[in-house]
Structure 1
């Protein structure tokens, strides 16, 4: 295998559910040496999250990939001391404890940076390290609610709608990984060689990906309403049912694409209307445009619809579930769902690494390992503990 981009970077993952651990997974996919800390008795919550097969938790099988797993009670004095030894030559710590928890355990940034000035400490919480809500427990669901996402999601006459998966955590994981890499770059290129603290509040990445809502409210007093599958910025943009009971999504963010769609569905006359010349004007006439597009699609099967749109160079996509994704040739060509060998499950299919790199590709070396599987290798080989010390730590419940 060619060298991995993050070879030589050691990441200690002390986070849970899901933004922090997923950020560590991403870093591990590209070569970082990730040490996952779990509580000796409780383990990582993802081991009990979602479905399992033959007692093997599927969430953990993916989330724990490329990680060395150790058990450690950070809240015990002996555990905190072991953590300091682990972090003394690490590059990154990712944690998501409630603000003040690390400090209470004697593991605050001031202590850790005195021990290891090069350490990058990524702190991932719902509301950040300061402010009136910092002390509150929080999950991605709260960020989806408070960021404005749920308020604009759903049908106009329906309730605010939360996503049926960890959207805020997933977005924040991507941001956390990027923030860690930014901090490492600063440390090693042009900085003073010192690590820094990354304070990531999950409410903020969600606020950012919602776009210019803040500016629209600031400058115009606009509050975006729920519009279902329509867009306030362009039309036609919706989901449409085909004759054979399938669904497709159509997008016309570009003016040229909107014109091609209306030619395709047999209503080129609307293109000459003055309002058609802008996305906002088309959005204001969404009822008319949707009626034309929906009627044309409803008279045709999915294959005919996608072929016609492709020939017209107009933007359409079938609405997929995971079974459709497994069968799709484009995903197959990209190896987006790849096969990995798991010791308990055998061959398993899971999302591949996030992106392809020509010189330093990422890889999945192994799936999530049993709790504490690497205790001996990490504590004995890295920290130099002898068998008697390890036995004593196990007996006392520290590891």
Structure 2
């Protein structure tokens, strides 16, 4: 799967963000993730690291004889990497040379630190009125929690998300991947594009306040409304959702787990008919299925448990109902759909996710993995020093 090349036009066509320059002062995942999405679609992203490097270089799994982690190589792909010590006069001077004429600055320092270094949004936009400044924090630029340490785990707990995860009566759980960081990265990239559109039309830059807590709170759907108007507090339901029944993961007779969803009423009716409940009035409506969720879930679980996974999947697909085997990474690398869609690419010897969205005219692409520390400092600084000298003359 991983050796399938991108289509040749994707390698030759500039991305839709070609000509946009981004300076990234962010570390770990959320801020750099936003930079990654912009870089994937053609923006020139210059990542500025401190003298000890971004800690993501040392986070997670590292290949044999490698110093940088796979996490680093994924999140910081398609970027140029520069090392500057912003506590020194020369480091600050070099940063200003990168920011001159840049379209975007991405930073994820605690509120006030960028200003303390002399690079606050007011000063940036005084010198470069069109600049978009994306600020990524745990809790936002103001409010009682603004200066608290902000990590994904804390946002997952405070957003209400963690309280929903886990089995009924069990402890609240946390997602086992960097979910909040990845969601916030997408929010940051989207918000940056919206602000760039405004700058393009008006010549006016602006500052964007994106944070982990707000990003996760946004995905809570109608639960805030349900509490505000009905006093409803959703309990932990394992894989269940109150308004979609049946829905969850179920174990087949051969030990294989499958996921089933009946979010659409038409699909729910097909599932009910398949398992022999098509004429049961208790389950004829969304509300009825929700009221009788325990009885319905037990019936579906028993139906699945008495059959081999191949039969379960075949029968669900025969009636055009939603089902899938629960895949692990070994399954994913063998899956025909992943292969057909080229969802995993290989670059610089590293297999990783391909670009997140396909474009028919100006596709994004993965050009290279995250670069070694200090790899581009001299070339980038020499280029912008020369540009600055020409402008002055």
TM-score range, shorter chain: over 0.9
Alignment of 1:16-95 (within 5 A): 16-40=27-51, 42-53=52-63, 54-56=65-67, 57-95=69-107
Task: Find the aligned partners of 2:209 and 2:306 in 1 and give their Cα distance.
Answer: 53
Deviation string 1:54-80 (CA, Å, 9 cap, x unpaired) is 224211111121000000122333322
Which position in structure 1 is the counterpart of 2:6?
none
Which position in structure 1 is the counterpart of 2:270?
260
- What SS is found at the alignment partner of 2:339? helix
Alignment of 1:1-399 (within 5 A): 1-40=12-51, 42-53=52-63, 54-56=65-67, 57-189=69-201, 192-270=202-280, 273=281, 275-340=282-347, 342=348, 347-384=349-386
Q: Is the 8 A contact 1:379 1:385 kept in 2?
A: no
Task: Find the aligned partners of 2:20 and 2:296 in 1 and give their Cα distance.
Answer: 53
* Residue-pair matches, total: 375
Which position in structure 2 is the counterpart of 1:392?
none
Q: Is the 8 A contact 1:236 1:250 kept in 2?
A: yes
Shift of 1:384: 2.9
Deviation string 1:177-197 (CA, Å, 9 cap, x unpaired) is 0000000001112xx201100
- What SS is found at the alignment partner of 2:279? helix
- What SS is found at the alignment partner of 2:370? coil
- What SS is found at the alignment partner of 1:383? helix
Q: Is the 8 A contact 2:139 2:150 kept in 1?
A: yes
Q: CA RMSD in A?
A: 1.4
Task: Find the aligned partners of 1:269 and 1:383 in 2 and give their Cα distance.
Answer: 76
Moved more, 216-225 or 278-287: 278-287
Task: Find the aligned partners of 2:339 and 2:291 in 1 and give their Cα distance.
Answer: 39
- What SS is found at the alignment partner of 1:384? helix
Deviation string 1:363-386 (CA, Å, 9 cap, x unpaired) is 011111111100111101222399
Deviation string 1:69-92 (CA, Å, 9 cap, x unpaired) is 000122333322221221111111
Task: Find the aligned partners of 1:78 and 1:116 in 2 and give their Cα distance.
Answer: 20
Decide whether aligned partners of structure 1 residues 363 and 318 sit closer, same or farther in structure 2, where only a CA change above 3 A counts.
same
Q: Is the 8 A contact 2:269 2:284 kept in 1?
A: no
Deviation string 1:106-153 (CA, Å, 9 cap, x unpaired) is 110111111111110000000100111111121111110100000111
Task: Find the aligned partners of 2:311 and 2:107 in 1 and give their Cα distance.
Answer: 50
Give the 4+ runs in structure 1 shifted more than 6 A.
none
Shift of 1:264: 1.1
Task: Find the aligned partners of 1:116 and 1:207 in 2 and give their Cα distance.
Answer: 33
TM-score w.r.t. structure 1 length?
0.91
Shift of 1:266: 2.2
TM-score w.r.t. structure 2 length?
0.93
Task: Find the aligned partners of 2:91 and 2:285 in 1 and give their Cα distance.
Answer: 62
Shift of 1:280: 3.1
Provide structure 1 residue ranges, at least 5 long, that are not aligned to the other structure.
387-399
- What SS is found at the alignment partner of 1:180? helix
